[in-house]
Chains A and B, each alone.
Chain A
Amino acid sequence: MPGRPLTEPTDVPDPATDRAARRAVVRDAVGIGVAVGAYGLSFGAAAITAGLSTAQASALSLLVFTGASQFALVGVLGAGGSVVAAVAGALLLGSRNTLYAVRLSSLLPLRGPRRVLAAQLTIDETTAMATAAPPRLAGTAFWATGLSVYVLWNLATLLGAVGAARLGDPAVLGLDAAVPAAFLALLAPQVRARQTLAVAVAGALVALVAIPLTPAGVPVLLAGLAVVPLLVRR
């Protein structure tokens, strides 16, 4: 590399190794997209169960494109919650994407339309892949994962919604029981540590107490307060 002292270690391997590393990143990106497809199927079905149309379910996956927020929005609407409560829950769950974007913007200096496109693809999976990849492959990891997850998430949403709409009464099929199980499966990987498990239990208890006392959607927002003690006590 011209102008570079020979003694400095370089992170650019020979072309063959580099190609192999890139291929591995793209393969992982496709694998993540397929795994996310399973969530997409159940999101499409959950949206129909909550009373949304197929067009509304697809609009959410195309435009919101952050799974937990989408599930929360349809969950609250399905329970009869107000638009304000549903949107507030979705935004609270989407706020972590802001911090992901901060981390990504230091890895990938993007401007203009590319930055806008990258913003829409800023989610758990793309951030995890971009930060785990070697720095020179961060861009490849981010865009490959973003494209793969975006395409498969949207296809799966459509499939799940059309399927659930055709199958008939969601309660007879037990689809209303699939929704809490989906949230539980989303939560499980995040509560392996004792402290996060305690926060989860606290959130669940707050919601249980709040259900008979507050309008639909509000119990979920109140549960967010469970993180406060951890923030005050350092």
Chain B
Amino acid sequence: MIWAAVLLASAGCFGLKLAGWSVPAHWLDRDRLQRAAVLLPVPLLAALVVVQAFAGDRSLVLDARAAGLAVGLLLVLLRAPFLLVVVAAAVTAAVLRAL
């Protein structure tokens, strides 16, 4: 099943890219469409943050992931580099679980 997802996403994402190179430019040259495509990743990424941090099995849970995320948020606000944000979140959760 995972391979099916990998291959479908591969074909689909490549198709989306090639389509833009192949269709006449004016087809997609619309203000609203441009705004939608530029903005769409924002709520999706925000939802992924929430899902990855707080989702249990059809429930909301508050565990070490949330603490890791809080540390990550603090570092993001301080404009820390990507890798530091990610590693600090992991270390926070790992330390809390080891206690």
Contacts and interface: CB of A to CB of B under 8 A. Distances in A.
Given A60-B6, A199-B39, A181 B45 contact: no
Interface residues of A, number: 97
5 contacts: A53-B2, A56-B2, A70-B9, A87-B12, A211-B58
A180 B72 contact: yes
B99 interface: no
Contacts of B76: 184-185, 188
A72 B12 CA distance: 14
A202 B22 CA distance: 34
Interface of A: 35, 38-39, 41-42, 51-53, 56, 59-60, 63-66, 68-73, 75, 77, 79-80, 83, 86-87, 89-102, 104-106, 110, 115-116, 118-120, 122, 171-188, 190-191, 196, 199-204, 206-208, 211-212, 215-216, 219-220, 222-227, 230-231, 234
A180 B52 CA distance: 5
A232 B8 CA distance: 31
A-B pairs, top 9 by smallest CB distance, nearest first, are A101-B20, A203-B43, A177-B68, A181-B72, A223-B47, A181-B89, A174-B93, A177-B93, A174-B94
A227 B39 contact: yes
Contact of B55 (A64, A186, A211, A222): A211
A153 to B, nearest CB: 13
Nearest to B96: A174
Contact of B44 (A64, A72, A171): A72
Interface string B12-41: 111011111111010011011111111111
Contact of B13 (A90, A199, A220): A90
Contact of B93 (A104, A118, A176, A219): A176
Contacts of A63: 6-7, 10, 14
A56 B4 CA distance: 10
B62 interface: no
Contacts of B54: 208, 211
A99 B20 contact: yes
Contacts of B22: 115
